[in-house]
Structure 1
Amino acid sequence: MLVINYEGKTKTYDTADQFLGRQILEVPDFEDYTEISSVTLDDKPIELEDKTMLGLYNYLHDQKNNK
């Protein structure tokens, strides 16, 4: 489960792939510049250099492609 905390709110996705898929839609769930306060994947924190939705997207996309 992917849990994103941003701007005092929380959004949960069943999988990282679900988030990736939603972000490439014509109208994504989040604007790229939305700032993230924290994010966990399967209860493990993810440390991002770029703490935006675009940074999270790039991180997850890179992780998926490096497997």
Structure 2
Amino acid sequence: MAARLPSLMLPSCYLDGALCLEDDARVERYHQAFDQLRAWALASRQTMSLISRLSRDLERES
């Protein structure tokens, strides 16, 4: 069974700014969440294949 991301990770993401964390426990939770995301990520070739397939599927639908 896949591990879940810490619940604080999703609402605490900043895409257009900086987030300064000084609390060691919070830093560790973000570190663990990032490590889990990297573990779940596809390899480069698999990512390219997935994007190509999705693009073809979208073109067929339109």
TM-score range, shorter chain: 0.3 to 0.5
State which structure, 1 or 2, has the greater radius of gyration over its C-alpha atoms. Answer: 2
Pick 1 or 2: higher relative contact order, CA cutoff 8 A, min separation 6. 2
Could you state the TM-score of these two structures normalised by the residue count of structure 1?
Answer: 0.35
